[in-house]
Amino acid sequence: MLRIDGSLLEGGGQIVRSAVALSAVTGTPVEIISVREKRARPGLANQHCAAVRAVAETCDARVAGNTPGSSRLSFVPRSIVRRNTAVDVGTAGSIPLVIQAWLPVALEKGGSLMVQGGTEVQFSPTIDYFTEVFVPALGPAGEGIRVEVIRRGYYPVGGGMVRVSVEPASCPRISAGSAAGNGIRSCSSNLPGHVADRQAARARAYLLEETGEEYPVSIRRSEGPGTGSSCTVWSGAKGSCALGKRGLPAEKVGEAAASGLVAALRATGEVDLHMSDQLLLYLARGGGSYTAPEFTLHARTMCWLLSLFGMPVKVSGRDPVEFRA
């Protein structure tokens, strides 16, 4: 059994989610110790438990320690099967991060996942970043991924619902050039209709001023259990998101998302900082290369974890950094 120290490097939920996914696709039993040991609230949180359950369902894994607060988790996978799975985070924990753990396993045989939780929450990509930036970056493998946002969910209530269906696909050879297109997605729940309009209008105007390009706008308004708003903007394999909060003008939300994208576009590299670590598991398995502005702590953590599973990634350069396998 491969023993993994969950407190090393980034020391967060990324290690748990990625370790169980790698365990499933390689057939390697793992034990993760000192889970999130250095966090203010150490141990597994609801979101991590939901991700483990989703992966376990796809490979009939034997799991021990998958409860909130647990500092130790063992995961013994069996054969991957095509399965329709449903998990409820139980909080506003990130739906996109749960999907990210499940997806590389589901691509082996296909299947579907229904997740309840938060579609747009802090310290996580929005569901729109996942659909418009991450999925296209997978190239042909992404063409068989369908995402249906049934209901938006915002912190602290959550209650969002997303269904993802996947067709079997070979692990993609990663090339950042496979992602194309740009856009603005402005969303709100239980707020006046003008909020999403104002977010989008400011993001569109800012991007036009700074890049000289028109970005197509899509608006999503909904009614759900919680109240909130978000703005996600993207261009190719780079994206940026911002969340609304009480007292923050809608224009500030749109500008924050747009300015984040402009900064990413002006930086070196083919992908943004967040995408740089999200693609590494696929790069290590399918080969390819891409560049990013810097070697982030999250990317360092993924490279370390992949090496434990015998999947080294070559990292070279500084500005930009190249990842190759």
Please give the positions annotated as active site.
Answer: 298
* Cα separations in angstroms, 104 against 44, 61, 147, 226: 21, 16, 15, 30
Rg (CA), the chain: 19
Q: Which of these, 191, 168, 207, lies nearest to 248 by C-alpha position?
A: 191
Alpha helices by DSSP H, listed for 168-269, are: 193-211, 250-266
Q: Which of these, 89, 79, 73, lies nearest to 57 by C-alpha position?
A: 79
Q: Which of these, 169, 128, 166, 172, lies nearest to 149 by C-alpha position?
A: 128
43 HSE (CA, 13 A, CB side): 10
Under 8 Å between Cβ of 75 and 23: yes
Under 8 Å between Cβ of 111 and 58: yes
User: Residue 111 pairs with which residues in a beta bridge?
Assistant: 83, 166
